[in-house]
Amino acid sequence: MPLCLSVEGLAARRGDTLIFRDVSFSAGEGAVVIVTGANGSGKSTLLRIVAGLLRAEAGSIRVAGGDPQRPDAVDTRTETRRDLCHYLGHRNGLKTELTVFDNLAFWRSFATAPSRRHGLEIEAALEEVGLLALADLPVGVLSAGQQRRAALARLLVAWRPIWLLDEPTAALDAASDAMVSRMIARHAASAGIVLAATHLPLDLPQARALAMPGPPRREDVGGDDVVWLDAGQVDGPGAAP
Ligand SMILES: Nc1ncnc2c1ncn2[C@@H]1O[C@H](COP(=O)(O)OP(=O)(O)OP(=O)(O)O)[C@@H](O)[C@H]1O
């Protein structure tokens, strides 16, 4: 059965504020979903919840399907949602004092499931993002755009089926935007799933938009009487349907 990420009736609270509710979508292999919405509408929050970094207020997230016999060896019966996702947040997730190569060597060993096919070799990933010549420099001396490109190379050195990308083109020049579009298209074409929040239009004809609904009005959610599901009812990682 093909891999599928399904989000149903998701709601999120930050502090005392209900940021959004009733967010539902599903994304199968090859899907690219672009999350759109105003500043503060909850795009980052949504990605962090799907990544398993924040609890939802209500709703369910399921990753089901996958075929352990295929070369990508995705097994949603044994792997957690966290294992299946690559999350690229606003921060790059790189140690500034380590070289670009050593950062990627860490991510390659950390993010690769033992049974899973490997991603690209580090040199190939660096070539892909145009950083091969800078492999031996500490990340801290790179420009902001170069650091973002090194972070994008993280996605390539360990293959994980679901990419969760928060403003992946932040700090990148126009030519690099096209590189990100290419990376996303290639990942989708190799049975991956991409959920990306971005303010920039990416050149991805197959992408679908998921517009964040904006904060619910108090009268729409029943004022103080509203009862939200316990966050524990959100399905755990890798739950079967
Ligand atoms: N730790 C927190 N405590 C309280 N409120 C928070 C916290 N983190 C985020 N928020 C609020 O949650 C809302 C959603 O933030 P989020 O970062 O998900 O929005 P976004 O759509 O990604 O915004 P942007 O387009 O500006 O990146 C914002 O109003 C933000 O101020």
> Residue whose CA is closest, atom 11 of ligand 1?
14
The answer to whether residue 155 sits within a structural domain is: yes
Q: Is residue 238 part of a domain?
A: no
In a domain, 221, yes or no: yes
CATH number at residue 177: 3.40.50.300
* Closest-lying ligand 1 atom to the alpha carbon of residue 212: 21
Alpha-carbon distance 37 to 34, whole Å?
10
Assigned domain for 241 exists: no
Q: How many domains would you assign to the chain? A: 1
Residue 11 located in a structural domain:
yes
Nearest CA owner, ligand 1 atom 13? 40
Closest C-alpha to ligand 1, atom 30: 40
Kind plus residue range of the DSSP H or E element containing 106: helix 100-111
pLDDT tens digits in sequence order for the chain, 241 residues long: 888 999 999 999 988 889 999 999 999 999 999 999 999 999 999 999 999 999 999 999 999 887 766 666 677 777 788 889 999 999 999 999 999 999 999 999 888 876 666 789 999 999 999 999 999 999 999 999 999 999 999 999 999 999 999 999 998 888 888 899 999 999 999 889 999 998 877 778 889 999 998 766 655 554 443 333 333 333 333 333 3
Provide the residue range defining the domain that includes 206: 4-233
Residue 24 φ/ψ, nearest 5 degrees:
-135, 140
Residue 239 lies in a domain: no
Q: In sequence order, which ranges of 158-240 are alpha helices (DSSP H)?
A: 174-189
128, 85, 105, 75: CA torsion to nearest 10: -110
ipTM of the shown complex: 0.96
Tell me the pTM: 0.88
Residue 186 included in any domain: yes
Q: Does residue 45 line the site of ligand 1, with CB under 6 A?
A: yes
Is 240 part of any domain?
A: no
